[in-house]
Homo-oligomer: A and B are copies of this chain.
């Protein structure tokens, strides 16, 4: 094992999770899973590695560049999971005969993107996805939005706004501005950047990518600005002569979804926003992104987003399976909770710290630690030996609340000293009563 000194570090864009971070993270994951299950979503998992051809071409040109791709020892071209949606599509196509319809699944796991690391953006991060595959209906769209909103509520993330749009609305608005509907995807990519590059930037990009006049480019933007809520959106589309059927499938669908989400008690969270475009190529219907309104966390970005993708699963198999999903970014959610002071106090020691006063007391100390654990009290048996003061200090340092000293005269009398590490108060009880006494102290 000897050798030149290593540079001991993690890769750029990758992080270790220490206990003061990872403890609250585990608690968040449990809360998220409980909401998913309460809404009838069942867990699945897929491999970290897929055949590269499964993943390439699904995330647009920029996405492809961010894939971790390599050749494995058997010469296969493989890639690391970039999101949980494309693997789900492959999964549904592959196992369709074994799955019920609709199929509600959740999936929690890391994904990898060779993105430029920056504040809050990492190359490895955890997504928590809930998707409903099988039906294209307002009920399906609403169920998925509701599960996401319930997660935010369970995590006490207040002041989240879900900005909602529909790919059909985008296409209709672009047509209303006089642009060839075939060019809609190109125009949508430009509009998606409104937040980042501003209106002038979007106009310039539209001119360039659509090869259109400045007037047409500005008309696109102005049509989008006018459609500030569902009523004015409808007015814009009627004026432009968009088919009633097209309006029903887009504006009408959004209305129905808004009403259903309101029935679940979350109506005040949804906002129509014509500028939401979602960069990913695979969306076909409703799309949404979350904004945190609290100024302390507004910069964290979208903590939850998703939409409907009715053609993606079909691209892997013989059957079209319409689907809609929502994806929560655990790392961003945790960053928000941390800023909001909702992320624990950093202590991670066991509640009870059991110290053998002498080596000959070790077996009795183990028996006592076992009693405590059987009574549901988390307990550490001190493994250090040596001076009692040093041992107690180490238990205190990591946040243990109570120390039990096994040995000396007390042990000879069948007793044990229990020390409150915060107050310093001490009491002596019989060994057989110790677990119950500690459980009582911790409940206070």
| Residues on A facing B (Cβ under 8 Å) | 1-3, 6-12, 14-19, 22-23, 25-26, 30, 33, 37-40, 42-51, 53-54, 57-58, 65, 68, 70-74, 76, 78, 80, 90-91, 93-95, 98-102, 104-105, 110, 112, 114, 124, 132, 134-135, 137-140, 142-143, 146, 150, 256, 259-260, 263-265, 281-282, 311-312, 315-317, 348-350, 356, 362-367, 369-370, 373, 376-385, 394, 397-398
Of all chain B residues, which has the CB nearest A101? B394
Which of these, B15, B74, B381, contacts A139 with CB under 8 Å?
A: B381
Across the interface, which residues of B come within 8 angstroms of A398, CB to CB?
100
Of all chain B residues, which has the CB nearest A110? B48
Across the interface, which residues of B come within 8 angstroms of A25, CB to CB?
43, 45
Across the interface, which residues of B come within 8 angstroms of A90, CB to CB?
8
Known pairs A2-B315, A38-B350, A39-B380. 4 more at Cβ < 8 A?
A39-B373, A72-B114, A104-B380, A263-B363
Q: List 14 A-B contacts (CB under 8 A).
A: A1-B57, A1-B58, A1-B281, A8-B93, A37-B350, A39-B350, A40-B350, A49-B68, A135-B384, A138-B362, A139-B356, A142-B366, A263-B367, A264-B366
The residue in A26, A45, A397 that gathers the most chain B C-beta atoms within 10 A of its C-beta is: A45
Least distance between A344 CB and chain B CB atoms (Å): 12
Contact A45 B17 (CB under 8 A): yes
Which of these, B48, B114, B134, B317, contacts A384 with CB under 8 Å?
A: B134
Least distance between A340 CB and chain B CB atoms (Å): 22
Least distance between A378 CB and chain B CB atoms (Å): 5
Which of these, B46, B316, B349, B383, contacts A132 with CB under 8 Å?
A: B383
Across the interface, which residues of B come within 8 angstroms of A281, CB to CB?
1
Across the interface, which residues of B come within 8 angstroms of A8, CB to CB?
54, 90, 93-94, 316-317
Across the interface, which residues of B come within 8 angstroms of A110, CB to CB?
48
The answer to whether residues A137 and B367 also contact, given A8-B316, A44-B22 and a CB cut-off of 8 A, is no
The answer to whether residues A38 and B94 also contact, given A22-B43, A137-B384, A143-B383 and a CB cut-off of 8 A, is no
Expressed in whole angstroms, the Cα–Cα distance for A45 and B54 within the complex equals: 28
Across the interface, which residues of B come within 8 angstroms of A367, CB to CB?
263-264
Expressed in whole angstroms, the Cα–Cα distance for A51 and B356 within the complex equals: 42
Across the interface, which residues of B come within 8 angstroms of A101, CB to CB?
384, 394
Expressed in whole angstroms, the Cα–Cα distance for A139 and B149 within the complex equals: 47
Contact A263 B370 (CB under 8 A): yes
Which of these, B23, B37, B135, B143, contacts A42 with CB under 8 Å?
A: B23
Expressed in whole angstroms, the Cα–Cα distance for A281 and B40 within the complex equals: 47
Of all chain B residues, which has the CB nearest A317? B8
Expressed in whole angstroms, the Cα–Cα distance for A17 and B124 within the complex equals: 21
Least distance between A312 CB and chain B CB atoms (Å): 7
The residue in A12, A348, A379 that gathers the most chain B C-beta atoms within 10 A of its C-beta is: A348
Least distance between A126 CB and chain B CB atoms (Å): 9
Contact B11 A46 (CB under 8 A): no
Expressed in whole angstroms, the Cα–Cα distance for A143 and B365 within the complex equals: 11
Contact A150 B316 (CB under 8 A): no
Which of these, B14, B51, B93, B373, contacts A150 with CB under 8 Å?
A: B373
Expressed in whole angstroms, the Cα–Cα distance for A58 and B363 within the complex equals: 35
Across the interface, which residues of B come within 8 angstroms of A312, CB to CB?
1
Expressed in whole angstroms, the Cα–Cα distance for A349 and B51 within the complex equals: 31
Across the interface, which residues of B come within 8 angstroms of A263, CB to CB?
363-364, 366-367, 370
Least distance between A306 CB and chain B CB atoms (Å): 16
Across the interface, which residues of B come within 8 angstroms of A54, CB to CB?
6, 8
The residue in A42, A98, A99, A146 that gathers the most chain B C-beta atoms within 10 A of its C-beta is: A42
